[in-house]
Amino acid sequence: MSPLASSKRLVVKIGSSILVDEARGEIRRDWLEALTDDVARLHRAGCEVVLVSSGAIRLGRTRLKLSAGPLKLEESQAAAATGQIQLAHAYQAALARHDITVAQVLLTLDDSEERRRYLNARQTMATLLGLKAVPVINENDTVATDEIRFGDNDRLGARVAEMISADTLVLLSDIDGLYTGDPRSDTSARFIPEIREITPEIEAMAGSAASEMSNGGMVTKLMAGRIAMAAGCRMAIADGRAVGALGALIDARARCSWFLPEASPLSARKKWIKGSLKTAGALTVDDGAVQALSAGKSLLPAGVTEIEGEFKRGDVVDVKDRTGRLLARGLVAYAAEDARRIAGRKSAEIERLLGFRGRDEIVHRDDLVVE
């Protein structure tokens, strides 16, 4: 069995060139049904699956009867608005056969770069996965501009994997992995099955995008690999053109190139938190909270006795005991003003005190590094 079979949280990126029939400009229904059969198989085994799917612009340009060739930005946005409905409906129908709920999530680059929006998107996807839904994600092309768009869904897939602490990212494309050169033009190009570090030599092997239908090429896949590996997420580049391609990867019947990080997703995330040079504030906690933290539990509002600083939600804060000794560092779930209102109170009181239902934890254990 491949590493894919042991995944607990998987992101699968699906390129336009394999989802959409180029000649007809329509979804390959047999391919999509086979993909969702394999997603359902993983789902039943307890794996949480997120799909990052291209194809909206290609579908929309067919429906709007736009001419062949490069599109203007406003034409791409109009095509995306039209095609996204078709794309979401196709996934909904295919996964409904397995009684799996689909959720559509549209993201821009700002959603992954701006801290508050990043946290909101991460919490939304975590909630959807907890409710056993399969999020289908695409770039929000209808509002993205040339300056801020991802430009391809390889990097979007990597950003999503980083955002939700996925352990595996699979890029399904029209090539079965990384080669020392472009195998379409270089007969001597050698296949590379495993990459543990993206060196300048590896980067030099990258080619360019292969078709009008795809903005991504090997260059963007290596960018995705760099993002994923830094987040402790392993990544595979695989040929997804055949019907049942994902299942073949699960059963190790198809070859691919694996990018293997040194750290796990959670340890990479916590390494980043611990390495933050500047914290925005501090939380002082009581003896009960000290014991809870040492046992690996989250920090609840009830255990907080004092708040320092004017931090925002998602900022890195120190956690101290009554003597001022540093206990931990973490990403706080509430802004300082709200944190002061709920400090020392039970989580069940949060909605009444703040007027909205936030997280039960003031710092979740996944966002906490104990010293």
286-312 residue pLDDT tens: 999 999 999 999 999 999 999 999 999
Strand partners, 182: none
CA distance 101 to 91: 10
Look up the CATH number of domain 3-266. 3.40.1160.10
Structural domain boundaries in the chain: 3-266, 275-370
Provide the 8-state DSSP code for 133.
-
CA distance 322 to 337: 21
Q: Which tokens go with 44?
A: 């039943």
Q: Which CATH number fits domain 275-370: 2.130.10.10, 2.30.130.10, 3.90.1300.10, 3.30.470.10?
A: 2.30.130.10
What digits encode the pLDDT tens for the residues 233-282?
999 999 999 999 999 999 999 999 999 998 888 888 787 787 766 889 99
- Please name which of 145, 170, 138, 156 lies closest in space to residue 57, comparing C-alpha atoms: 138
Percent of the chain with pLDDT over 90: 62
Q: Which segment of 62-71, 112-121, 230-239 scores lowest on mean pLDDT?
A: 112-121
pTM here is: 0.82
